[in-house]
A and B are shown apart, each in its own frame.
Chain A
Amino acid sequence: MKIAVCVKEVYNLEQVKIIKETREPILDVPKKLDDLSRNALEEAIKIREKLGGEVVAISAGSPDLKKTIKEALAMGADRAVIVTDCSNSTPESTALILSKILEKDSYDLIIMGDASSDDYSGQMASRIAEILGLPQITFVSEIKEVSEEKITCVRDMDDYLEVVEADLPCVLSVTNEINEPRIPALKDILKASKKPVETLSANDLGVEIPQPYEIIENLAPEIDRRQEVIEGDAGDVARKLAEIIRREA
């Protein structure tokens, strides 16, 4: 079984600071592998553990990818192919780039997160399936069965679950319920440093990156905090607090 996992680097959102007065974010923080990318990787590794084969991490992003991709290798991907000159590319060009890489090998399964925690556009699986002419199963919350020929998945449709079967090769997008991604141990991280990483440019792949969309404004949501201090002894405070909760609930 040859599995490609499309992963994405994102800003480590926990470290992003917001300037209170202007609500602007300060994005000068380290990047990391997106959480849903980890879910996708975990699922691919589980399948490899069961059926054997190879897991290849594929990503398009900034030069920082050289560092972030190591997280995917430490988790257990066997090798990686990265494109490092397409920060801020649109979902359309990213899908074209990833498809070009995917075309070069014949993968049985292509797995990715359902959307990324930064832009959350959620278009990648469908775009790639369309470009490559493959079936797709989105919102996968469980893989019920997988063989060399076929896969059966549970789709989480919010209000109901759907069980879908498809022939391989096939594109999957997974939700975070599908598994608990493993945390690499030191020996995995050391091993990862020896795994091959192929670095390409969009140009190598013959994809032109159009002028990325223009960001007009990027502000944190306004949070209206009352910041009311209730004073008095414990009994008083509790009574006043209960009153406020009752009034405003």
Chain B
Amino acid sequence: MERFDAVVIGGGAAGLGSAYRMAENGMNVLLIERGENVGEKSVYGGRIYSWVFEKYVKGFQDAPVERWVKKERLTFLDERESVSIEYSSDETCSFVAILTKFNRWLAEKVEDAGGLVVSGIKVEDVRLNPLRVVADGEEIGCDAVVIAEGVNPMLAMKLGIRSDWKPEEVAVGVKEVFKLSESEVNSRFDVESDEGVANLFVGYPVFTHGGGFIYTNRDTISVGMVVRVDSAMKNKIEVYDLAEKFRAHRDVAGFLKGGSMIEYSAHLVPEAGIKGVPDALHKDNVMIVGDTAGFVLNRGFTIRGVDFAFYSGVLAADSIKEAMDGGDAGLAGQIYERKVRDSAIIGELEKFRKALDVLENTRFFNDYTRMMVEIMRGIFDVKEESNRLYDVVMEKSRGRKIRMALDFLSAFRGL
């Protein structure tokens, strides 16, 4: 039987983070990926917060970054109009990347550091006492297992570490990539070649839990739509139809004009925040990381997943090392549990626990989005006569001022 210090299951950001850290620490690590190539099953919107890679990955400056986000735009859409808020800065904390390419690069870093990466192999089972991973009819022995299998927690469920997602805990996202040219992207989004835009959309065509997004890659743009599964079921909406409507909206279509769709993908996204994180993140020396553990934070205008995924992988790796160095490898699971609970991952998810209640409130996605657009129309619509801001706001908020005040107060506190 082959033996490794640790086996990592899954070649997304979480698994790669774990394998990279262990390889860097001189441990004998094997990463097994189900897809033909490492990282190709990963799907996300398009943006990665860079801090964790700057902190942990040597040579990060050579990473395949498409553009650094210098413009953040939040757009409220109704059927024909829109209101956008834009924040623009030379400082940046995130970049747009093509995740499959970024993962491929990370996998090379793992191999350069001495880790073994194997793809096209499905792990069938993880067995305890003694700890083994079963794949391809072979058993591989190890001191610790890191499950980074993504949002579909087959193995984690089998081991009883976590339960499956409920419809209100996950969203379904679709994403399309359109090919333009680098100069077209620059001119359509008014950016330089190394600058990028992250644009989130609220309102049309979902008007409930979910929204749209556009991210600028170097010479392509990623456009998509996310909607929470329970809302999609309740309102009988197909996310594909939504994506199509979204693409056709006048404020989106302009960015895509003449572009050729070169990629289409769909995926589930954990959306339950801290409520999606199971009570225990390990069983014996088997640990769960990334999406499997529910480490995604959506607070309306920012969505974090890849940085938490990678970071949780690093924490698992450090826990295994600490346990081995301490002479009892079997303690890794417990150490990981403590490290994650003390880390910024759980800290942030806890901090934004209330954000879940705010985002639960569909009035933000529908009534207030429409109102925002109507108020803007009211003050900019100048004919023979024009409207006072005060009158417009009073008219549009008639009969719902108290509820609105409460909602906005909760949003102000929660997000």
Contacts and interface: CB of A to CB of B under 8 A. Distances in A.
B263 interface: yes
Contacts of B279: none
Contact of A189 (B121, B179, B260, B261): B121
Nearest to B135: A186
B262 A19 contact: yes
A246 interface: no
Nearest to A191: B2
B262 A185 contact: no
A185 B134 CA distance: 12
Nearest to B136: A186
A203 interface: no
Nearest to A74: B118
A17 interface: yes
A26 B179 contact: yes
Contacts of A193: 116
A77 B335 CA distance: 42
Given A19-B262, A28-B101, A30-B104, A189 B137 contact: no
Interface in B326-372: none
Interface in A151-173: none
Given A19-B179, A30-B104, A185-B138, A190 B263 contact: no
Nearest to A189: B118
B298 interface: no
B37 interface: yes
A38 to B, nearest CB: 14
A186 B138 contact: yes
A26 B262 contact: yes
Interface string B302-330: 00000000000000000000000000000
A185 B140 CA distance: 13
Contact of A187 (B2, B32, B37, B101): B2
A197 to B, nearest CB: 13
A20 B116 contact: no
Interface in B96-146: 101, 104, 108, 111, 116, 118, 121, 135-138, 140
A228 interface: no
Nearest to B32: A186
A21 interface: yes
B116 A190 contact: yes
Contacts of A26: 179, 262
A75 B140 CA distance: 20
B37 to A, nearest CB: 5
B262 A187 contact: no
Question: Which 10 residue pairs of A and B lie closest in terms of their CB atoms, listed nearest first?
Answer: A186-B136, A17-B262, A19-B260, A30-B37, A185-B136, A20-B260, A21-B260, A189-B118, A186-B138, A187-B138
Interface of B: 2, 30, 32, 37, 101, 104, 108, 111, 116, 118, 121, 135-138, 140, 179, 258, 260-263
24 contacts: A17-B262, A19-B179, A19-B260, A19-B262, A21-B258, A21-B260, A26-B179, A26-B262, A30-B37, A67-B108, A185-B136, A185-B137, A186-B32, A186-B118, A186-B135, A186-B136, A186-B138, A187-B138, A189-B118, A189-B121, A190-B2, A190-B116, A190-B118, A193-B116
Interface of A: 17, 19-22, 26, 28, 30, 67, 185-187, 189-190, 193
